[in-house]
Every structure is written in C-alpha cells, then in structure tokens.
Chains A and B, each alone.
Chain A
C-alpha cells in the first residue's frame, strides 16, 4: 500500500514539476513556436502525469474508470490543440526562429 502511495507521490510531483516548467517556458522563451511547445507540455505531459498519480490513489473502481477516461480524452485533445495552434500560425505566415525551410503548401 505504501509503495503505491510513494509511486503516486512521485508521479504527482513529476506532473507538478512539468507544469511549472511549462509555465516558466511560456514566460521566458523568445518566440511563438518555442512558447507553444512549452505550453503544450503543461497540458499533455503535466496534467497526464498528475492524473496518473491520482489514479494510483483512488479506492473506488468507478472513480478510477472516470479518471482513466479523462486521461485518455486529455491525451487526445491537448496535443491536437497545440498542433492546431502551431499549424494556424504557420498558415498565417509566421516562420520559426531557426529559419527552417518553410512548409510547402
């Protein structure tokens, strides 16, 4: 039981750390695409790890299934949202900082 508790604590801590990293990155990184990457970490990896940590703590089966479904939904939608954001910026004419080749239409 305590091993599960410890694992859950580790996952929650890692999730919190990733959310903080995303927040710091959003503030400090120089340009739009890098900031989008940082923000997307918050949504997908940070929240995902936190949900996994919570999953290890629940006692009720129904709650566990609900948390699993939320995790699945989050894993589907958060990366897609960041992808759509970056895609819209590219389409609008923004180029990434490194001057990489422009995406052929």
Chain B
C-alpha cells in the first residue's frame, strides 16, 4: 500500500513536470525541469527494482544532459516564441491519435509485475539468473549480461559515445568563427567566492574516489563503467566551473582527452582481438584465463568495463569543453 502511494506521488510529479516542460517558454527553466524529470524517473526506477538503470539515469540524465542543455542555451537565445496555432493543432491531434493507439495496444500486455508474465517464463531468464553464477561468477547479473553475454552491444555503445565525442569536437571544437574574442570563456568564480572554492576543493577528491569505487564495484552492486565515467567527468566539470576553463584545460589537455577516448575503445576492441588470438571467438573471455574460464570471465569483464569507463570519461569531458569553450558567452549585465 505504501509503495502504491509513493508510486502515485512520483507519477503525478512526473506528469506535472512533463506538462510544464511543454508549456513554459523560458528555456533555462525548461532545461532544469528536464533534469528534474530524469531524477524523478530515477526514483521510479529504484521503486521498480532497476537500481543500475536508476544510477545511470540519475548520473547521465539529471547530471550530464542538464549540463549540455545549459551549455547550449548559454550559446543561443534562452526564450522562445509562442507556438502558432497552425503547428500546435495538427501536432496535438497526431499525438492524441498515437497515444490512443498505444493505449489500445497496451491492453494486451500482461499486468504490471505479474508473476506469470511470458517474459519471466522464457528460458533465457533462467539462463541469465541461474547459470550466470557458474558461468561468470559475479553477483550483479546486469553487469554480467552487459559485459559478457551481450558484450557486442556494449562495444557498439562505447563506439557510439566515442563517435559523439568526435562529432561534437568537430562541430564545436575551435572557438566560434564570428564571435567577439574574450579572454576567459568560462569566468572563474573563485575570485569572488571563497565558499565555492573551499567546498569544491573538499568535494572533488571524494567525487573522483567515488567514481573509482563505482567502476570497480560494478560486479558486486549497482555500478559499472558508464556510471563511473560520468561521475568522474562531473568531478572535472565541477573543477572547470569553479576554477575556470583554462585551469581545467591545464589539468586535462585536449590531446590527452582525445587519446584517452581512443584508448577506451581500443582497450575494449583489444580484449576481443586478444581472445581471437588465443583461439576463441571475439570477446570470448574464457580464453583469457588460461584454462580457468571463470577467472578469464572476471579478467575480461574488468578490462572491458575499464575501457568503457575511460572512454566515457574522456568523451563527456570533451563534450563539456566543446560547449563551454565555444564563443564568448554572455557578457555580464546586458541580456538578450
């Protein structure tokens, strides 16, 4: 009964935020609301026993995406015009029609959390949940499925993140061609703000430490390469926001970041090539153990998650640097 109440409250908040995002025209407010939407969704994921997904949604959706939206809004205008009736009416009709179709189709779905749903009786479920301790031997089934049973998909995902980093670097990498030149693109805040400086210095080591913890404990609890990469990147982004973009660039120069992003993908692919050379299939980790399949799986998952973490860290920092370093940004008092 209590979970039902929490469910109702969270879903109400979610719907209200969704409607507010559609109606509000101040884009900075809408960007913050979208971060709040992701965070509320992460809470709902926890309620639905999806802890890994909740972790990733909170880190990526509420953290990284909000930073990217705010960065883009700082480079463009922040208020939009009202929607003309000629656009909103057909869109509303199309959305309503699609929604009705979806709800009609959902009547065939099994009830929420039904124990006899077809998906739970599928033999693959038994394979993942019962055979994975003997085949892979780590408690977190999501990590074992992500890194081992479905390693190819995760490889594709890492390459997608890498490609996004390269694409944004190509689009926004150099300073704007036509903007007014400004000495420091992101104004360091610490000149006026001792509190921020002290608190940032206190927190950043723990943020980085927590990222390393999440990276290496992905086998035993929620965690893994993606969450760790985003948390690590957010530590550096905090440093850049408080101490200035130039200071952050001194810590993590662009050449190093590009190298790290490539290193992550190469590490993942390299593990696959190594298993090929050892006589097995691509990404067949059992071969890495030299006879002990379980040890090979552990080593393979460790290396592969490390590759993911390195690539995601570098790519997220590259994304932030590209957005923050582009153009002069807004001068202090004049607005729009």
State A93–B331 Cα separation when bound (angstroms).
12
> Taking the complex as formed, is A63 at the interface, i.e. its CB lies under 8 A from any CB of chain B?
no
Chain A residues with Cβ below 8 Å from B189 are 84, 87
* Inter-subunit contact A76/B192 (CB<8 Å): no
Q: Are B332's CB and A92's CB within 8 A?
A: yes
Output the least CB separation between B332 and chain A (Å).
Answer: 7
A80 touches B192 (CB 8 A): no
Counting chain A residues whose Cβ lies within 8 A of the other chain, the interface size class is 10 to 19
Contact in complex: B333, A80 (CB < 8 Å):
no
Docked pose: A87 CA to B189 CA in angstroms: 10
Residues of A contacting B333 with CB < 8 Å?
Answer: 92-93
Interface string of A71-105 (1 = CB under 8 A from B): 00000110010011001000111000000000001
B232 to chain A, nearest CB (A): 17
Q: Which of A80, A92, A93, A105 contacts B199 (CB under 8 A)?
A: A80
A91 to B196, CA, bound (A): 14
**B46 at interface (Cβ–Cβ under 8 A)?**
no
Who on chain B is nearest to A87 by CB? Answer: B193
Q: How far is the CB of B70 from chain A (nearest CB, A)?
A: 12
| B228 nearest CB across to chain A (Å) | 18
Cα distance, A93 to B332, chains bound together (Å)? 8
Nearest 6 A-B pairs (CB), nearest first? A80-B199, A93-B333, A83-B195, A84-B196, A87-B193, A76-B199
- Residues of B that sit less than 8 Å from A by CB: 189, 192-193, 195-196, 199, 202-203, 332-333
Q: A84-B193, A92-B332 are in contact. List 16 more A-B contacts (CB 8 A).
A: A76-B202, A76-B203, A77-B199, A77-B203, A80-B195, A80-B196, A80-B199, A83-B195, A83-B196, A87-B189, A87-B192, A87-B193, A87-B196, A92-B333, A93-B332, A105-B192
**Which A residues contact B (CB, under 8 angstroms)?**
76-77, 80, 83-84, 87, 91-93, 105
